[in-house]
């Protein structure tokens, strides 16, 4: 992943130095497993433990060998001399690669879980802060009925919690190792070695494997990352809409020296939110590649290998970065409550149409008749028949309406607070404590 979208913690996890060091960790544990069975002398193990990663030498060998694992092994064997014959005993490359990859994914997962928890905490705090802040709810982009900004944010809370659950489950699926030899039969390395290595690494042995661990695990993980990204995209898209000039209800942070456009000095663009939406598309593409990697020839091929060198580091790195950006957006979000109130009043009371229709039905009018009467008066407002007239004024002037509802009753129905009656219930369901 390019440096622009890489946080230092994730860069270290996926660095080549860390990858090869993890390969070495697996190889040393396999040697220790053999030593426990008496297959490697104690003095040889002591010598093998002195081996260290030398990337420069490994790269020199790879120019000739054209095989990274062979180059890795030759680099180690050069350091330990004759005892090098015990390194990689009974193994195939995938034993090392897949088991080490599980460790790197676990480390990346820990970083992702921490970043997700930090974002969730910020959204929870914002939801509580704006629990009772009235604003217009929109369906199809059109004013619908009042809601609260806190309720909108609580939906994000619920989605992020589901994301946490999915991420934990997919990481658990990835937490397996395989030390089973060529085609996975254990013919050259007994199951006891696999069990020892995995226990030392905090992994479970794959119950059964071919020469590789089943790639449906990796596909589930990458699909989960894409789904978390989709949740972030949903949040970012909402922030983009709320920042539109015609809406202007909530804004991502904008620094004192920040510039929004190279041409127009007045611009304050939703560039963070747009960036997240774009990167979410990339995550989804990686998930498709991961699903295509599930189908391999017989006991293995390496059609998955080249793509995984890209999609696993890039996906985890991208999502980690996206979580960081979204946290900065939520933590620094600027909310214009006055504009929210202005937008509530923008349609001159049309947003109370359903409540008035229901009141007419409750007073004895048929549903279709009530709907058409209310719609007829609403259309007068849409057409601007009297630019100063409110929806309620048209209703009060309609005898077919006032036969069932008095003007004072109509006034009482136009109360946005009515729509917040059950916000507390939903916050209680989420376990969100009130700011008081």
Helix (H) or strand (E) holding 9: helix 8-13
Whole-number Å distance between alpha carbons of 378 and 368 = 15
CA–CA separation, 132 and 275 (whole Å)? 30
Neighbours of 81 (CB within 10 A): 10
In DSSP terms, which residues pair with 204 in a beta bridge? 176
Report d(CA 74, CA 36) in Å as an integer: 24
The Cα–Cα gap between 96 and 92 comes to 7
Q: Which of 115, 59, 48 is nearest to 85 (CA)?
A: 48
Inter-axis angle of helices 216-242 and 149-174, nearest 10 = 160
Instruction: Please answer whether residues 224 and 162 qualify as being in contact, where contact means their C-beta atoms are separated by less than 8 angstroms.
Output: no
Catalytic residue (one of 67, 261, 303, 306): 261
Take residue 251 and report the two structure tokens written for it.
Answer: 């804004």
Name the residue with tokens 């089943």.
Answer: 214
| Segment holding 251, helix H or strand E | strand 250-251
Is 266 an annotated catalytic residue? no
How many angstroms separate the CA atoms of 411 and 234, rounded? 36
Please tell me which residue in 39, 59, 88, 140 is annotated as part of the active site.
140
Q: Where are the alpha helices (DSSP H) in 184-300?
A: 191-201, 216-242, 271-292
Task: Decide if 261 is catalytic.
Answer: yes
Integer Cα distance of 427 and 121 in angstroms: 15
Question: Which uninterrupted H or E stretch holds 368?
Answer: helix 367-383
Residues for the chain: how many in total?
436
How far apart (Å, rounded) are the C-alpha atoms in residues 61 and 77? 12
What is the rounded distance in angstroms from the CA atom of residue 151 to the CA atom of residue 23? 48
Active site residues: 140, 261
């Amino acid at each position: 992943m390019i440096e622009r979208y890489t946080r230092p913690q994730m860069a270290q996890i996926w660095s080549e130095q860390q990858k090869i060091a993890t390969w070495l960790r697996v190889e040393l544990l396999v040697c220790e497993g053999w030593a426990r069975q008496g297959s490697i002398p104690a003095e040889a193990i002591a010598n093998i433990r002195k081996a260290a990663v030398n990337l420069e030498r490994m790269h020199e060998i790879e120019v000739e060998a054209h095989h990274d694992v062979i180059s890795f092994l030759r680099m180690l064997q050069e350091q330990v001399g004759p005892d090098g014959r015990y390194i990689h005993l009974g193994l195939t490359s995938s034993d090392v690669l897949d088991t080490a990859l599980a460790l790197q994914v676990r480390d990346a997962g820990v970083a992702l879980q921490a970043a997700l928890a930090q974002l969730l905490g910020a959204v929870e705090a914002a939801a509580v802060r704006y629990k009772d802040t009235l604003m217009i709810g929109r369906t199809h982009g059109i004013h619908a009925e009042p809601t609260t900004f806190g309720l909108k944010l609580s939906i994000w809370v619920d989605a992020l919690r589901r994301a946490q659950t999915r991420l934990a489950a997919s990481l658990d699926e990835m937490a397996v190792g395989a030390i089973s030899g060529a085609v996975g039969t254990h013919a050259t390395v007994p199951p006891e070695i696999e069990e020892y290595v995995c226990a030392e690494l905090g992994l479970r042995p794959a119950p059964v494997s071919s020469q590789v661990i089943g790639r449906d695990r990796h596909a589930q993980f990458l699909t989960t990352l894409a789904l978390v990204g989709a949740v972030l995209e949903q949040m970012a898209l909402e922030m983009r809409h709320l920042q539109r000039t015609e809406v202007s209800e909530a804004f991502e942070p904008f620094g004192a020296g920040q510039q929004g456009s190279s041409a127009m000095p007045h611009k304050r663009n939703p560039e963070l939110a747009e960036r997240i939406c774009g990167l979410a598309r990339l995550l989804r593409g990686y998930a498709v590649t991961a699903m295509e990697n599930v189908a391999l020839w017989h006991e293995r091929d390496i059609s998955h290998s080249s793509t995984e060198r890209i999609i696993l580091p890039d996906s985890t790195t991208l999502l980690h970065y996206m979580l960081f950006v979204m946290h900065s957006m939520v933590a620094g979000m600027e909310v214009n409550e006055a504009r929210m109130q202005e937008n509530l009043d923008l349609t001159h009371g049309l947003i109370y149409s359903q409540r008035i229709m229901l009141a007419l039905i409750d007073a004895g009018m048929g549903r279709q008749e009530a709907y058409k009467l209310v719609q007829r008066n609403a259309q007068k407002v849409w057409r601007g028949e009297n630019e100063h007239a409110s929806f309620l004024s048209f209703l009060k002037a309609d005898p077919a309406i006032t036969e069932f509802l008095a003007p004072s009753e109509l006034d009482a129905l136009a109360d946005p607070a009515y729509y917040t009656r059950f916000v507390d219930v939903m916050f209680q369901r989420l376990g969100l404590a009130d700011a008081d």
